[in-house]
Structure 1
Amino acid sequence: MEKNKTTFIVMGVSGCGKSTIGRMIATVLELPFFEGDEYHSPENVLKMSQGNPLNDEDRLSWLLRLNSLAKQNSDSGSVIACSALKEKYRSILSKDIKEHTRYIYLKGSFEELIKRMTLRTDHFMPPALLKSQFETLEPPEDALTVSTENPPEIIVENILKQLDKSKI
């Protein structure tokens, strides 16, 4: 697969594997990887760690930071892990770079993902917020959609096959 200038946004609710899958894709495609959670404000992290979901106002500065990051890396391309739950969030993320942005939606069931989240010990997002993420989620119509039921290696293999077919 030839190197390109695409920004891949690996999206979905908490616990779906955005970070793991995003890092693996970035490695294969030889692109920089950015963990979207690292760009949240301290206030947002505190709010979520206390079990309170973010609202649109809370998310705006975070989404703008990620859009700026994508633009800064538009010459080489990048992979960004970001929930991107609503269409309007995805519009902000791809502002001015829409033609070079591809969304990869990791789709999982509430039951599967709540099990994963209860096993995590190193993340600020409590399992109690998963329900609010599913309630907020507007599944994308134009994303490459992959089930989270397989092991990460199979998920990445499926993504790469689909990307190759679409010629990125």
Structure 2
Amino acid sequence: MKIVGNIVYIIGVSGCGKSTVGSMLADKLQLPFFDADDFHPKENVKKMASGVPLTDADRIGWLEKLNALAIDHKENGAIIGCSALKKTYRNLLEQNIEDITKWVFLDGSFDEIWLRMKKRKDHFMPSTLLESQFKTLEPPVNALNISISQTPEEMVAKILLELKA
């Protein structure tokens, strides 16, 4: 199955599985996958690694870069894993491509995700910042909600079913 010309954002707080689910979905759809973490400026990574939450001002340039990436891939499509915690962030991410943007929200409880993050190795985002992410989170109303209590394979299968519909 290939969905040409759609930008699918896999969104949610850190540790919810955006990279895992996004890369698996991209493989199934034969689309490129981009992890938004790879596009953060060094200053943002350093700030988060030291346990300091990003501000809206810290995120603007990063979100604009991701929107440009999405626009560059609008002809053939792409999967982008990005926290996109607030509605204003999502508005910026879909600017000029609203009609081809799809949102998939990986939904889980604080406790579920905190346990996952404690097991992660070699990631700049410390589990101590999870609370700030949940405080910032404005759950999307126009997204496919996927429970993270499922396996990644089950999550991808459900996303594929919904995207076909």
Q: Which residue identity does 1:9 align to in structure 2?
A: Y
Name the SS of the counterpart of 1:145 in structure 2.
Answer: strand
Name the SS of the counterpart of 1:14 in structure 2.
Answer: coil
Is the contact made by 2:2 and 2:30 (CA closer than 8 Å) also made in structure 1? no
The residue number in structure 2 matching 1:92 is 92
Name the SS of the counterpart of 1:103 in structure 2.
Answer: strand
1:115 paired to 2:115: yes
Deviation by residue 1:90-133 (Cα, 9 ceiling, x = unmatched): 00000000101001000011001000000011100000000000
Q: Percent identity, aligned pairs only?
A: 49
TM-score (norm 2): 0.98
The residue number in structure 2 matching 1:130 is 130
The residue number in structure 1 matching 2:26 is 26
User: How many angstroms does 1:164 deviate by?
Assistant: 1.4
User: RMSD value over aligned CA atoms?
Assistant: 0.7
Q: Which residue identity does 1:154 align to in structure 2?
A: E
The residue number in structure 1 matching 2:12 is 12
1:3 paired to 2:6: no
Aligned residues: 165
Name the SS of the counterpart of 2:4 in structure 1.
Answer: coil
User: How many angstroms does 1:163 deviate by?
Assistant: 1.3
Moved over 6 A (4+): none
The residue number in structure 1 matching 2:75 is 75
Q: Which residue identity does 2:52 align to in structure 1?
A: N
Query: Which runs of 5 or more residues in structure 1 are unaligned?
Result: none
Query: Which runs of 5 or more residues in structure 2 are unaligned?
Result: none
TM-score (norm 1): 0.97
User: How many angstroms does 1:3 deviate by?
Assistant: 3.0
